[in-house]
Amino acid sequence: MKLIVSSLALLVTSTAAFLPHSNVALPNIQTRQNVHPITKRYSTKTSNTEGQLNGVQEFESWFQSKTLENDTMKYVSHAKFSNGRGLEFIGSIKDVLATEKPVIELPKEFVLKSTFVEDKQTLESMAEDWDVVLSVQLLQECQKNEESDLFGYCRLLTQGMPFEKDTVPSSTAPHCVRNWTLEQKKILGASKRGQRLLNVVDTQAKEWNDKYNALDSEFSNTFTKEQFFWAMEAVNSRAFRGDFGGEDLFKKISKSLIPFAAAAFGLNVVSSGSGPFASDERLTVALLVLSCAPVVLNFISENFGTKTLDAVLLPFIDSANHLQEARSNIQFDPVKGVFTVCMEGKNCIVEEDDDRKQFYISYGEKRDTELLLNYGFLPNMNDYLDDGETGNDEIRRVLAELFNSRSI
């Protein structure tokens, strides 16, 4: 019996690191969870520069009215740059770095969320996939127009236009391959690499069509397939993923048992001395089992449970353009219930030719195939384009030729 007790006590000690979100003191990484992008959003030159700031005024007015004690707009605001719409840094770099204040702070009330399941075979229907759920939520919010709690965000995505029945807003990623003409796709298909990408585009289109058909008739009677595709494009080019305390049953039970586990551990310590329960080995074992329960359940979740994350749309945060070397940090603070973006270095801010400063976020690396499939962008593509206005044909010709010449 002493061997059993010793083994259980060792389990508590050696596996405590697996216990998340407990009420005891833990490192910040446990209470401020890192956010990882599902996909990255890039901006690029476009022939439609006049429309790049449409919806910005409505969005920023909405955001400011909903977050009166928020300092976000003291640091950044939307602006048009040579590489498209982005965030202009208007605050003090020294102040942000010295105080470690977040540049952007977004209350979770303004976030759309779904569950990201890695194993698609566990889904009962394609309509349950993360991007479908987010797209449905986004369309439902856009349909409400001024009555939506996310009115400003919807107007930013629809470029200032009200959402009306049977009308499709302008693309949020106009140069991704699905929006190209047949002539533009012919240039891309001139290489085997480009042809493979076109095959992926066709596969994605079929998948999105199947997902639309998997939705119930109430949805399809309300929103057209083209509107659904618009939302899917927005979601796949703007969403982030991370662990924000979502749908994991084992972890939920684990967290709920933590107070009881702590009490059981304390009672076991007390009963191990003198008293009426001092010699009751069955009680000792029972208390130790209860104290180990959160650790065991969390271990089961991490190693044998269904792998799930949360997929989220983050207004304002997803307006920042990408710079790979930018030392930025996007996190979720479950205590305050906010998503934050902090700078860990000055290279998040790049000075433009006109002395304005653009604020960037790094989302890591992506392959060209994914960039061109969902965002209409390739690294360094602006080096091959003339300054100023550039037509769609020229932009997409450069994208096609650059893609065919690369191997990543």
Three-class DSSP category at 112 = strand
Per-residue pLDDT of the chain (408 residues; tens, 9 = 90+): 444 444 434 333 333 332 232 222 222 323 345 565 554 444 444 444 456 789 999 999 999 999 988 999 999 999 998 778 899 999 999 889 888 899 999 999 999 999 999 899 999 999 999 999 999 999 999 999 999 999 999 999 999 999 999 899 999 999 999 999 999 999 999 999 999 999 999 999 999 999 999 999 999 999 999 999 999 999 999 998 887 754 444 455 545 555 554 554 555 555 555 445 455 566 555 656 655 655 655 555 555 555 678 999 999 999 998 887 888 888 898 889 999 999 988 889 999 888 999 999 987 677 899 999 998 988 878 888 876 567 899 999 999 999 999 886
Pairing of strands 240-242, 36-37: antiparallel
Three-class DSSP category at 59 = helix
Q: Number of helices (H) and strands (E), helices first, in the chain?
A: 15, 13
- Beta bridge pairs of residue 332: 33, 339
* Radius of gyration of the chain measured on its C-alpha atoms: 25
* Nearest Cα to Cα of residue 364 among 31, 30, 28, 38: 38
Three-class DSSP category at 114 = strand
Is residue 16 within 8 Å of 295, Cβ to Cβ? yes
Helix (H) or strand (E) run with residue 241 in it: strand 240-242
Q: What is the 3-state secondary structure (H, E, C) of 32-58?
A: CEECEECCCCCCCCCCCHHHCCCCHHH
**Would you state the torsion angle of the CA atoms of residues 201, 169, 367, 114, taken in this order, to the nearest 10 degrees?**
-100
Spatial separation of the C-alpha atoms in residues 382 and 323, rounded to whole Å:
14
Fold category of 33-244+310-387+400-404 in CATH: set domain protein methyltransferase, domain 1 (3.90.1410)
Spatial separation of the C-alpha atoms in residues 51 and 61, rounded to whole Å:
18
Backbone torsions φ then ψ of 149, nearest 5 degrees: -70, -15
**Would you state the torsion angle of the CA atoms of residues 301, 302, 304, 308, taken in this order, to the nearest 10 degrees?**
80
Is residue 367 within 8 Å of 408, Cβ to Cβ? yes
What are the extents of the domains in the chain? 33-244+310-387+400-404, 249-305
> Residue 240 gets which letter from DSSP?
E
